[in-house]
Amino acid sequence: MRDKRTLKFGDIVNSNAIIINGDVSIDGEVFNNVKNIFFEILRDDFLRYSGEAIIQAKIEINNLMLNVFERLVKEQLTQLTEKFKSPSIQVFLHDTLVGYITNENDDVKDLIVDILIDRLKIDNVGTEKAILNDAIKLIPNLNSSTSSLIALLNLRNQVAIPAISFMLESFFMQISPIINNSCNINNIDIEYIKQANCTQQITGIYHIDSYENHLLKQYDLYFRQKGSIEIFNNFRNDHPEIMHQVNDMGTCMFCLIDKEKKWWRFCDVNTNLFYKRLIKRRQEYLIPLIEKLKATVPPLSNSEVREYLCNINMNWKYVFDLLNSSELNTVSLNVLGSYIGSKIISKYTNGKALSFTSISNPVAL
């Protein structure tokens, strides 16, 4: 999940520049000014630490700063360091610093840095500030089970939109560390995230749909029977226009699979998204052909969906049992939980976490 390289100071290029990892330069004076702000924020906390603990805390603060400055430089956001002088940011920084220096989990530390960067990017007003304030207090208290539970619940909301269908399987493989933790999640973990205000109860007589049905709905072009090349060739002979380019990658609406290319699959994973792309490209005339081709490859059954993912990682069976359980079939993530879950998933997939404008309706394609 986390880039395991060690952040170190490099050579002094001039009197006021520092190189991190040989490729990121920062202003030495700004760095030291921010460091002094961090130490001042923790002044009262240091009074309760032993001398050895203070030394270790300062080392951790230095590591935090190196991570933050590297991110700000790479994203061309160094002007945001001025915000460290703001009282509002400094109140936020206290929880950030304490959470970072007292945590032994590198993945959690990385999430703390992410949240700090997000806080620097937003204004001091608005609901986003409140969400981040809650997140920075909660993240340091999560363990591998509770963080994985939040991420798994987020899979019922957040939809992966790969450029081509084969990348969806990569997504399912990349989140294997989360899937592997599913077998360790218990009722205490479920009760904890409820009490931590990450969830909301779904009221009414209907439960949340099974995770199998969620997958069949959101990835309806992907979770289908493989199409035989014979059926496709006959269809192509009748409708040669099916070979037209249907996306910006220059591909048509299907891709051949396996070494012998005996089978085919749709390049897209979701019909609604596919049709929106076609309409945008003024190719809606292809939609009836897609509907005819879909009829030749019926959707998988629920058990076949489970079997597909269990072939990727056997621990998926625990995910289905967990998400479909009576303890969770009326529980959904709230905005805070969705924000944290999206952050966790993005770390494993190297993808982009959901924006604040998306987390209130993340399943929309």
pLDDT at 339: 93
**Closest by alpha carbon to 143, among 111, 98, 175?**
111
- The pTM score is 0.86
- E strands in the chain: 9-14, 17-20, 24-27, 199-201, 227-228, 254-257, 263-266, 331-333
pLDDT at 79: 87
Between strands 227-228 and 263-266, the pairing is antiparallel
pLDDT at 54: 92
354/281 Cα distance (integer angstroms): 26
pLDDT at 6: 42
Query: How many residues does this entry show for the chain?
Result: 365
328/140 Cα distance (integer angstroms): 24
Within a 13 Å sphere around the CA of 191, how many CA atoms are in the beta-carbon half?
3
- Domain spans, the chain: 9-141, 145-218+301-349, 227-294
In which band, very low, low, confident or very high, does the pLDDT at 12 lie, cut at 50, 70 and 90? very low
- Rounded to the nearest angstrom, the gap between the alpha carbon of residue 48 and the centroid of all alpha carbons in its chain is 37
Q: Is residue 69 within 8 Å of 20, Cβ to Cβ?
A: yes
pLDDT in tens, 177-235: 999 999 999 999 999 999 999 999 887 767 888 999 999 999 999 999 988 888 888 88
In which band, very low, low, confident or very high, does the pLDDT at 11 lie, cut at 50, 70 and 90? very low
126/317 Cα distance (integer angstroms): 41
